[in-house]
Amino acid sequence: MDGHHDHGHGSGVDGARGRLLLVALLNGGFVAAEVAGGIAFGSLALLADAAHMASDAGGLILALVAQTLVVRPPSGRHTYGLVRSEVLAGQANGLLTGAAGLWVMVEAVRRLGHPPPTEGLGVTLVALAGLAINLVSVRLLFSLRHHNLNLRGAFLHMAADSAGSVAAIMAGAAALVGSAYWVDPLASILIGLLVVWSAWGLLRATTHVLLEGAPPHIDRRQVTAAVLELPPVVDVHHLHLWFLASNSVALSAHLVLDDEPTLHEAQVVGDRIRDLLHERFGIEHATLELECHRCEPPVEAAEVNHRAGPA
């Protein structure tokens, strides 16, 4: 028995797509200005922030595509629809951003011993404009960050980019006030570390979903105990929990019922259990196999069959 519930996408998804598009346009449009500023003013910190912004813009485009695919209805080829497209987009986003962060750190270490002079005022002004765009982007995505891993990744990138802009501002101010040009590559290393850290967290979360790992917020023992509280369930085994997508949990389990209920009675019990799982644990897809006795043979019989071997 498989229970399906409405995920309530609709206008929420449309709103998310609209915000993602606006943030992508803001960040993508500013990349050229930061690249030009980094070259003109000799600032690796600005180029690092531009690389981060460029990866963010690309990631946001991926996120936008994924949000569109998520709401496509199931088909014969994809019976659950394309809900995992947001996880794939999140993973691609993490790889892209992590690579950009590593490049920034390698280049910054190379420059740290002999930092080139930078134009402090120009760096500061460009970085301030970048920070303003980042803060607007963070504000737009803040309320969407818990919807799924795709949107969480987009929000984290914007937050990390805001911190990167602050580091670039510090590098520009140091060059402007005290000709401390070494601050620029040092700030770039900090930006790179921040980018790699956020990318690693996103890659871990998306890989866990793709490997069908158990949801960390649901205790398997508590689920079993809750099901056993409902009569006439006397045993639960072969219980599996996994993510269909980052915000959609699935369960399958074998349940042993007391006595020998009719097919109608068993279906009523299954419906009650499915509703309990949805209301208490947020499990939207529950596949239940209802039994009158355990589907596994007794231990003694299993041992005898193992010793005897194939006929």
Peptide bond into 232 cis (omega under 30): yes
Whether residues 236 and 144 share a domain: the answer is no
The model's pLDDT over 137-187, given as tens digits with 9 standing for 90+, comes to 888 888 776 666 667 767 777 777 787 788 888 888 998 888 888 888 888
Please, which pLDDT band fits residue 5 given cuts at 50, 70 and 90? Answer: very low
Q: Is the pTM of this model over 0.85?
A: no
Residue 215 lies in a domain: no
Q: What is the domain range of residue 197? A: 2-210
The model's pLDDT over 19-74, given as tens digits with 9 standing for 90+, comes to 878 888 888 788 888 888 888 888 888 887 787 777 777 767 766 776 677 778 88
* Residue carrying structure tokens 């005290």: 178
Task: Name the token pair of 44.
Answer: 């690796």
pLDDT surpassing 90 at residue 217: no
Whether residues 84 and 128 share a domain: the answer is yes
Task: Name the token pair of 28.
Answer: 């993508």
Whether residues 126 and 180 share a domain: the answer is yes
Whether residues 157 and 248 share a domain: the answer is no
Work out whether the CA dihedral 129, 131, 137, 140 comes out positive or negative.
negative
State the CATH number of the domain containing residue 112: 1.20.1510.10
Whether residues 155 and 81 share a domain: the answer is yes
Whether residues 55 and 186 share a domain: the answer is yes
Say how far apart CA 134 and CA 68 lie, in whole Å: 24
Strand partners, 235: 256
Say how far apart CA 248 and CA 225 lie, in whole Å: 22
Whether residues 238 and 141 share a domain: the answer is no
Question: With contact defined as beta carbons under 8 Å apart, do 127 and 138 qualify?
Answer: no
Whether residues 228 and 190 share a domain: the answer is no
- pLDDT for res 150: 62
- pLDDT for res 310: 53
Going by the DSSP 8-state scheme, the letter that residue 182 receives in this structure is T
Whether residues 161 and 241 share a domain: the answer is no
Whether residues 59 and 91 share a domain: the answer is yes
161 — phi, psi (to 5°)? -65, -35
Residue 30 lies in a domain: yes
Higher local confidence (pLDDT), 6 or 289: 289
In the chain, how many domains are there?
A: 2
Whether residues 66 and 90 share a domain: the answer is yes
Whether residues 72 and 30 share a domain: the answer is yes
Higher local confidence (pLDDT), 9 or 198: 198
Task: Name the token pair of 158.
Answer: 């914007």
- pLDDT for res 14: 61
Last residue of a domain, one of 151, 182, 210: 210
